[in-house]
Amino acid sequence: MRERLLLCTDMDRTLLPNGDATETPNIRAKFSALCHLPEVTLVYVTGRHKALVEEAIADYRLPQPDYVIADVGSKLYRVEMPTWHEVPEWLTEMNQAWQGYNSENIIPLLSRFDQLELQEPSKQNSHKLSYYVPLTIDQAPLLTQISSTLKQHKIQANLIWSIDEALEIGLLDILPSNATKRHAIEHLRHRLDFTPSEILFAGDSGNDLAVLSSSIPSVLVNNASQEVRDEASQLTAQANNTEQLYLAQPTQNDNGNYAAGILQGIWHFHPNLRLHLQALGVEYDPEL
Ligand SMILES: [Mg+2]
């Protein structure tokens, strides 16, 4: 049977060279050429919403994906240019976790928390509710209270807390508990009937760690921070998945950053695709 690859990649600082590290010249064009092979099903896995994914595809001349897992896992689209179709089964799963509630009708349940300020409409969707929270307040008790309010309504949610350093403000995302990158990738795998070893995930940062350290074959791009590298190695070892994580590195061919790291991951996990890589001038040590 022909080799198949379900290539699932994070966007910012994994495929998009928008970090401090440099990108090997021409490497994204080679990545695109590889993605055009009929063997490859390309999936973008990202915190971005649809409009920002489309913007990145245009700005960075990225190949059109077959699927997009967007808004931190809360949306799954099948892309059939020029149309993005929301996958109905995924929407059903999100609805189940939230007991039929959507963002709009969760807002009134949280109205008594006056420290919460709704983010802009573009940052919300039916199953992602996002607020700004001042950094001056103690967030732990607030998050506990929000959680218990949601639980009273049987809403299964994950609260994701982060900080926008530039704006000096807290960000709170409320998502269905099953809206994770990993679960969405597994959902796609079953839907498209791929085996576990036919997946490759590529990531660079903390929000990729759950997939990087799982049994899903994964590559951590070389521009990842030392901290993420250490944490990924440690979590992977704890879960006995060391064989399933490849750490991209500088080679004679490229620096292992961004798209170069992804190509190394393909070389490492999919020897049957090496001839295609070599045809594009991408060649590594056979033992890589
Ligand atoms: Mg990233």
CATH classification at residue 107: 3.90.1070.10
Residue 279 CB burial class (10 angstroms; 0-12, 13-18, ≥19)? exposed
Are the beta carbons of 11 and 46 closer than 8 angstroms? yes
What is the chain's mean pLDDT, rounded?
Answer: 96
- Distance in Å, CA 203 to ligand 1 centroid: 6
Q: 127 and 187 in one domain?
A: no
Confidence of residue 3 (pLDDT cuts 50, 70, 90): confident
Rounded CA gap, 164 and 267, in Å? Answer: 36
Q: In the predicted model, is pLDDT for residue 209 greater than 90?
A: yes
Residue 137 CA, ligand 1 centroid: distance in Å: 28
Express as a percent the part of the chain with pLDDT over 70. 100
Range of the domain at 148: 100-176
Q: Tell me what percent of the residues of the chain surpass a pLDDT of 90.
A: 97
Bigger pLDDT: 79 or 1? 79
Residues 260 and 240 both lie in one domain: yes
Distance 46 CA to ligand 1 centre (A): 8
Residue 206 Cα to ligand 1 middle (Å): 8
Centre of ligand 1 from the C-alpha of residue 263, in Å: 16
DSSP 8-state secondary structure symbol assigned to residue 19: S
What distance in angstroms lies between residue 6's CA and the mean position of ligand 1's atoms?
19
Q: Which residues contact 93 (CB under 8 A, 6 or more apart)?
A: 176, 178, 187
Are residue 45 and residue 134 in the same domain, yes or no? no
Q: From the CA of 149, how far away is ligand 1's center (Å)?
A: 31
pLDDT-derived band at 2, boundaries 50, 70, 90:
confident
- Rounded Cα distance between 201 and 78, Å, is 18
Q: Model confidence at 1, in pLDDT bands (50, 70, 90)?
A: low
pLDDT single digits (tens) 157-183? 999 999 998 999 999 999 999 999 999
Q: Is the pTM of this model over 0.85?
A: yes
- Within a domain: residue 287? no
Q: How many helices (H) and strands (E) does the chain have?
A: 10, 12
Q: 59, 28 in Cβ contact below 8 A?
A: no
